[in-house]
Amino acid sequence: MTLSIISAEERMQTTGVKGCLFGPPKIGKTYQLHYLDPESTLFVDLEAGGLSVQDWPGDSVEIKDWVFARDFACFLSGPNPAYRNDECYSQAHYEYCCSEFGEPSRMDKYQTIFVDSITVSGRICLQWCKGQPEAFSEKTGKPDLRGKYGLHGQELIKWMTQLQYVKNKNVWLIGILQEQTDDFGRTKYTPQIEGQKAGLELPGIVDEVITYMPLANEEGEPKRTFICQNPNPWGYPAGDRSGKLNVTEEPNLNKLMQKIKGE
């Protein structure tokens, strides 16, 4: 094993912005594709729709099942040496993905991977987990909710972490923000993801957590805005590891990344 020292310049060249963008339904999360360069952006579509971006001229990939989702994440990111060859995201898994999808160099043209949505990926993952041995009791053979959701949390976190490892590219996970009110009338905003584990750990995996919401302007009219820092006056989930973003920013994903990168 050799020790590899990575300079700050090399690190900046091999990393991209990894973030998640949450907002209520129909606010225009998917429409953010229109601000991204279609020649260098890949739309990973898990919602089998994309009606709001039918006129967007960029490339897309449809994902309809969890096995394909894992394979594609491994193909994008490369092998993870932490895993054995009989595990997902290992060297053996990566070689299999290359045999199925072709040369990894075909992904070189893309600088940004736009994944819509993390909410649907959680549902697809849960559906797959329902049929796995861990979802059934070894003693009775009956469905085991604890085993199913435990496997779901592990699978989804591994998948999101693998996307975080994609080099030389920006990766954005898009998701629905849900509003919950407790018994004391207090409002809490959380990502809409099946199970609790993935939703709790996601903000710690990515570099940027952005909430996309309408906020009242000086005239009292709602204006769509990116909320980028936590704490913020509205209690929305947010976080900025770059330290370059204000509490609120213009809702333009391309300009946001340029600011983070200092361009």
pLDDT along the chain (263 residues), means of 10: 61 76 94 96 85 85 96 97 96 98 96 94 95 93 92 95 94 92 82 82 90 89 95 94 96 96 84
First to last CA, the chain: 37
In a domain, 64, yes or no: yes
- Taking the C-alpha atoms of residue 16 and residue 261, their distance in angstroms, rounded to an integer, is 9
Dihedral, CA atoms, 79, 81, 82, 86, nearest 10 degrees? 70
In a domain, 99, yes or no: yes
**What local confidence, expressed as pLDDT, does residue 50 receive?**
63
**What local confidence, expressed as pLDDT, does residue 11 receive?**
52
Q: What H or E segment, with its residue span, contains residue 239? A: strand 239-240
Global confidence as pTM: 0.92
Q: Which two tokens stand for residue 63?
A: 């994902």
- CATH code at 105? 3.40.50
* DSSP state for residue 7 in the 8-state scheme: -
**What local confidence, expressed as pLDDT, does residue 10 receive?**
55
The answer to whether residues 162 and 80 touch, using CB atoms and an 8 Å cutoff, is yes
In a domain, 224, yes or no: yes
Number of domains in the chain: 1
Per the structure, the complete domain to which residue 225 belongs is given by: 8-261
**What local confidence, expressed as pLDDT, does residue 14 receive?**
55
Q: Which two tokens stand for residue 15?
A: 């990393």
In a domain, 2, yes or no: no
**What local confidence, expressed as pLDDT, does residue 105 receive?**
95
**What local confidence, expressed as pLDDT, does residue 232 receive?**
94
- Taking the C-alpha atoms of residue 221 and residue 92, their distance in angstroms, rounded to an integer, is 55
Q: Prior bond to 104 cis, omega within 30?
A: no
**What local confidence, expressed as pLDDT, does residue 194 receive?**
82
In a domain, 3, yes or no: no
In a domain, 12, yes or no: yes
Q: Which two tokens stand for residue 207?
A: 């570099």
Residue type, 4: S
In a domain, 1, yes or no: no
